[in-house]
Amino acid sequence: MNTNRLNKIRIVLVEPAGPLNVGSIARVMKNMGLQHLVIVNPQCDPLSEPARLMAVHGVDLLESAQQVNSLPEALVGCQKAIATTARTRNLSTPLEPPKTILPKLLQENSTSAIIFGPEDRGLSNTELNYAQWFLRIPSNPEYPSLNLAQSVAICAYELYQLALEETSDESTITPNLATLETLERYYQHLERVLLQMGYLYPHTATAKMEKFRQVYNRSALTSEELALLRGIIGHTEWLLQHLPPISSLRGSKKPLESTEP
């Protein structure tokens, strides 16, 4: 079994409210060989007595868990992220079951994360934007809602089984993937320039940028590819600063806007 791949996977909990859930998650992570727990803005005390009692021999994971204030902080250093959700919402990226989507986290020797939302609401659309793929656990449609700890347990089990079955194949390794924080800086830069050139408008920028994110997130960009894109945007920004204002270019026709479904 290649435990090194499991050691590079983070379990990220966004605003968990139940110490019993957090303790149970630490226990099942210990059972399945996962080492890294990151908690975003916890709404309970992850080191409380109830959490410790539920963790049993996983108390060390509670004690070593990283607590951060925001989801981007939890993903620093990650090249891949899968978000869990039970609702399709407006996502153009399909929701996939654990068996088909979790292998993506083991295909390259890169740091990755699985993101789980709060017990009462799940992940928001804004939080989903930080992931490249989306996971939904198939369940009885008459009662589809799963407990947070149960959801983590299912994913942890599937990852452990994948690690057991994994064979070493260096040809599948893609080196030097761009990290999620460098992607986030690119998205912010891209939005700023597209607003400046008049392609985006403030009232529609959020919706259009979500579509850009989905396109780029599916591409698994390397650091070199992202640097190329940043160079294009940087040069475009320089031209916008040195050319006459767009409003003064009356002699040319405005480019056709892209049509959206």
Locate CATH 3.40.1280.10 in the chain: 3-172
Residue 247 has a pLDDT of 57
124 is written with which tokens?
């928001």
173 is written with which tokens?
């390794």
Q: Which CATH architecture has domain 3-172?
A: 3-Layer(aba) Sandwich (3.40)
DSSP codes of every residue in 163-199: HHH----GGG---SBPPHHHHHHHHHHHHHHHHHTTS
- Among candidate residues 4, 69, 77, the one with its CA nearest the CA of residue 35: 4
Q: Which residues are CB-neighbours of 203 under 8 A, at least 6 positions away?
A: none
| Average pLDDT value for residue range 76-87 | 90
| Among the ranges given (34-43, 70-79, 209-218, 241-250), the one the predictor scored with the smallest mean pLDDT | 241-250
Q: CATH number of 180-248: 1.10.8.590, 3.40.50.300, 3.50.30.40, 1.10.760.10?
A: 1.10.8.590
| Average pLDDT value for residue range 17-21 | 96
What is the pTM assigned to this prediction? 0.76
Torsion over CA: 242, 230, 212, 131 (sign): negative
Is residue 257's pLDDT more than 60? no
Burial of 237 (0-12, 13-18, 19+ CB in 10 A): middle
- Per cent of the chain over pLDDT 70 is 86
Q: Which residue has the tokens 């959206």?
A: 260
Locate CATH 1.10.8.590 in the chain: 180-248
